[in-house]
Structure 1
């Protein structure tokens, strides 16, 4: 066991469990690479009410992300459910607050990937993934997707895109990943970790 593993931040927002399940599978892929450790973090809901009453620490699940998590990570996987073809307000609010990290170039040169979930198969997944890449490019991050050498990308009948892992929850909000969705999320995590290892060498 490496005493100083590379910390790879899996930063996500999830309301009904779909994006969380993708995050967990990406984390498994990260930790399949020797010398890498997945660090799961989330962000709180955002509204005038939530900000007034939300606890500083979640009652359960992953802790809320802090500025230090961004500074110390060797790579970043960013995930959010789709909201009208864009990331959820809670994630956008967090990202909009990373100007100090941008000024300090704390994420510059680090690899990154994105993932999402939507209710419908044409629910704006790809535009969400692409729009999530934009602030990461402003931070100087190196964007990694999923190559078609991953055979599940050609066979999936649900989620999974070359831009990043995804899940189709359906009208009933099914949070359980299909085999292909799980395989692609795992592959994305593994690929991100391998890139982090190479770039840190």
Structure 2
């Protein structure tokens, strides 16, 4: 049975909602989804406040033990958020050891506007995963929701457009997140067979 790590950072909850939908897709295949997050970073001029995490903080052992990775971040100026980047920057030993080589990865995001940088954020998250030797899993156009979505979702990965009036993922965004989780888990299981 494949074990898939769902690693995300979420400040306002949109990316966390996507992580849970992806985990649901993973688990629908019989695979195990392990939800993990990363701690906040202290920004210059701000004081640190204790973070109440909804899920445990990721460890390097989580990377070693997973058969696949779903990697999620909110949009930050068209890029992944600093706390997630800080974590991935700490994985040099795993990169040298080849810990993630050949494992499949899916990226996902959430942002507050339709053309606010979701696709560039997804691409920015792919770059370190490619350096780790991971196999990037996208969403194929055979997914019907890719053709009807008025919000998030692209071939690069699931996404969610969130705003004051639209806190929950819509049906297309949900379908694409669940489909992405299923696809990731199925590919992880197939690669385990080899």
TM-score class, shorter-chain normalisation, is over 0.9
Contact 1:80 1:87 survives alignment (8 Å)? yes
How many residue pairs get aligned? The number is 193
Q: How does 1:113-128 map onto structure 2 within 5 Å?
A: 113-128=106-121
Contact 2:42 2:48 survives alignment (8 Å)? no
- Structure 2: 5+ residue stretches without partners: none
Q: Distance in 2 between matches of 1:152 and 1:158?
A: 10
User: Displaced runs of 4+ in structure 1, greater than 4 A?
Assistant: 52-55
**Deviation (angstroms), 1:174:** 3.5
Q: Name 1:47's counterpart in structure 2.
A: 42
Q: Distance in 2 between matches of 1:121 and 1:182?
A: 16
Q: Name 2:21's counterpart in structure 1.
A: 25
Instruction: Give the 3 Å change call, closer, same or farther, for CA 118–138 of structure 1 in structure 2.
Output: same
Please give the secondary structure, in 2, of the residue aligned with 1:83: coil
Contact 1:119 1:173 survives alignment (8 Å)? no
Contact 1:13 1:42 survives alignment (8 Å)? yes
Q: Distance in 2 between matches of 1:121 and 1:164?
A: 15
Contact 1:44 1:54 survives alignment (8 Å)? no
CA displacement, residues 95-117 of structure 1 (integer Å, 9 cap, x when unaligned): 10010110110000000010001
Contact 1:21 1:175 survives alignment (8 Å)? no
Contact 2:110 2:161 survives alignment (8 Å)? yes
Contact 2:15 2:110 survives alignment (8 Å)? yes
Q: Distance in 1 between matches of 2:178 and 2:105?
A: 15
Matched, 1:178 2:167: no
- Structure 1: 5+ residue stretches without partners: none
Contact 2:9 2:72 survives alignment (8 Å)? yes
| TM-score, normalization by structure 2 | 0.95
Matched, 1:37 2:32: yes
Q: Name 2:57's counterpart in structure 1.
A: 64
**Deviation (angstroms), 1:150:** 0.5
Please give the secondary structure, in 1, of the residue aligned with 2:113: coil
| TM-score, normalization by structure 1 | 0.91
Q: Name 1:101's counterpart in structure 2.
A: 94
